[in-house]
Amino acid sequence: MLSIQHLIVALAESSSVQAQIIRNALSELGITRMEVFETGEALLEYIGKYKPDVVMSAFHLPDMTGGEMIFRMRGHTELRDLPFILVSSETNPDLIDPMRQAGLMGILPKPFDLPQLRKVINDTLDFLAVNQNDTDSDLDYADLNILVVDDSVMARRHIRTVLERLGFEKITESWSGKDALPLIDSTLFDLVLTDYNMPMMDGCELASYIRTRSMQSSVPIIMISSEENMERLAAAEAAGVSAIMGKPFETSAVRQVLRTQLAQR
* CATH code for the domain of 241: 3.40.50.2300
Average pLDDT over residues 3-32: 97
Checking if the pLDDT of 12 tops 80, the result is yes
Where does the pLDDT of residue 264 fall: very low under 50, low under 70, confident under 90, or very high at 90 and above? confident
Query: In terms of domains, do 125 and 231 share one?
Result: no
pLDDT, one tens digit per residue, over 81-127 is 999 999 999 999 999 999 999 999 999 999 999 999 999 999 999 99
Considering 110, 129, 148, which residue would you say is the last residue of a domain?
129
Beta bridge partners of 246: 225
Structural domain total, the chain: 2
In whole angstroms, give the CA distance from residue 117 to residue 113. 7
Query: In terms of domains, do 152 and 178 share one?
Result: yes
Which of 245, 247, 248, 246 lies closest to 258, judged by CA?
245
The amino acid sitting at 122 is N
Query: In terms of domains, do 145 and 210 share one?
Result: yes
Query: In terms of domains, do 146 and 54 share one?
Result: no
List the single range of 2-11, 123-132, 227-236 with lowest mean pLDDT: 123-132
Query: In terms of domains, do 111 and 145 share one?
Result: no
The reported pLDDT for the residue numbered 132 is 46
Q: Are 141 and 165 in contact (CB under 8 A)?
A: no
Q: Are 141 and 135 in contact (CB under 8 A)?
A: yes
Range of the domain at 48: 4-129
Strand ranges (DSSP E) for the chain?
A: 8-12, 33-37, 54-57, 84-87, 106-108, 145-149, 170-174, 191-194, 221-225, 243-246
Secondary structure class of 72 (helix, strand, coil): helix
pLDDT, one tens digit per residue, over 142-164 is 999 999 999 999 999 999 999 99
- Starting at the earlier edge strand, list the strands of the sheet with 191-194: 170-174, 145-149, 191-194, 221-225, 243-246
Query: In terms of domains, do 70 and 147 share one?
Result: no
Checking if the pLDDT of 215 tops 60, the result is yes
In whole angstroms, give the CA distance from residue 223 to residue 148. 10
Angle in degrees, CA 174, 180, 186, rounded to 5: 120
The reported pLDDT for the residue numbered 137 is 58
Query: In terms of domains, do 250 and 186 share one?
Result: yes
Query: In terms of domains, do 27 and 109 share one?
Result: yes
**Residues contacting 84, CB < 8 A, separation 6+:** 54, 55, 56, 57, 69, 70, 73, 102, 103, 104, 105
Considering 129, 155, 174, which residue would you say is the last residue of a domain?
129
Considering 107, 129, 151, which residue would you say is the last residue of a domain?
129
In whole angstroms, give the CA distance from residue 253 to residue 122. 12
Checking if the pLDDT of 134 tops 60, the result is no
Residue 66: how many other CB atoms lie within 10 Å: 26
Query: In terms of domains, do 92 and 205 share one?
Result: no
Query: In terms of domains, do 12 and 35 share one?
Result: yes
Query: In terms of domains, do 176 and 65 share one?
Result: no
Mean pLDDT, the chain, as a whole number?
A: 93
Query: In terms of domains, do 146 and 257 share one?
Result: yes
In whole angstroms, give the CA distance from residue 140 to residue 190. 12
Checking if the pLDDT of 133 tops 60, the result is no
